[in-house]
Amino acid sequence: MLRKAGMLACVLGFAGFAVPALAAGCPGCDKVTKTGQGFCCGKGETLGVKLTSQKLFDSLEGKKVDKTEIKCDGCKKAATKGGSCDSCKKYFHDGKAYTSKIAVALAKGKPVSAEKAAQCAGCKTAHKQSTECTGCGVGFVASRKYKGEDYKVALAAHKVLAKAVTTSKKCEACAVAMVTDGKCTQCNVSFKNGETVKKG
């Protein structure tokens, strides 16, 4: 009886020690929650969208570029003025290079909190519904603010990304192809602007 009681005490003691450790937050996940950007423990967030595919996340990530190390003339021009290099299929914005035009379209928006958007009644509604505030002349998509044509492009890009997130649960390669106008060799299908353009 005493032996059983001793074993029980050890188990309870271990459980009491383990619970606080399990309850502690993951630094990587905490960073993603705080910044709204990153991937950790099988889940992540980028450009205002939550996702569970590491491959899809990586395809959307912008990489900082050093213009002095760029050898392609098309990339040098695009990196300086903004835009894309047709030869390398890279898109540039704000010192970063992207392999997805969907990603760069959304990256052009400025993250705005609900509290800040609430300073204007029109923006408050637009922020919640991903629509435009006619008074301020801006539009919101996934809590990011855009001006002019950038809003319409971002809205279309967000729809493609949302579709890719859903698709990634079945086939990550197809999801990546959706946002990069590429081909999924596993399913033998190609995409353009998020839509299937060729099978086989």
Beta-carbon contacts of 189 under 8 Å, excluding residues fewer than 6 positions away, are 174, 177, 183, 196, 198, 199, 200
pLDDT in tens, 68-78: 899 999 999 99
pLDDT single digits (tens) 16-40: 433 333 335 899 999 998 888 899 9
CA distance 141 to 97: 21
What is the dihedral sign for C-alpha 152, 154, 155, 161? positive
DSSP bridge pairs for 195: 192
pLDDT for 200: 65
- How many alpha carbons fall within 13 Å on the CB side of residue 7? 4
Alpha-helical segments (H) within the chain: 2-23, 27-35, 54-60, 73-81, 101-107, 114-117, 121-129, 149-168, 172-180
Helix (H) / strand (E) containing 67: none
Contacts of 169 (CB under 8 A, 6+ apart): 52, 53
- Per-residue pLDDT tens over the stretch 90-146: 999 999 999 999 999 999 999 999 999 999 999 999 999 999 999 999 999 999 999
DSSP label at residue 165: H
Those residues with Cβ within 8 angstroms of residue 192's Cβ, 6 or more apart along the chain or in another chain: 181
For the chain, percent of residues with pLDDT exceeding 70: 88
Q: What angle do CA 38, 39, 44 make, to 5 degrees?
A: 90
Per-residue pLDDT tens over the stretch 163-186: 999 999 999 999 999 999 999 999
**Cα separation of 50 and 38, whole Å?**
10
pLDDT at 76: 92
Answer yes or no: is pLDDT of 57 > 90.
yes
pLDDT of 65 strictly over 70: yes
More confident residue, 32 or 13: 32
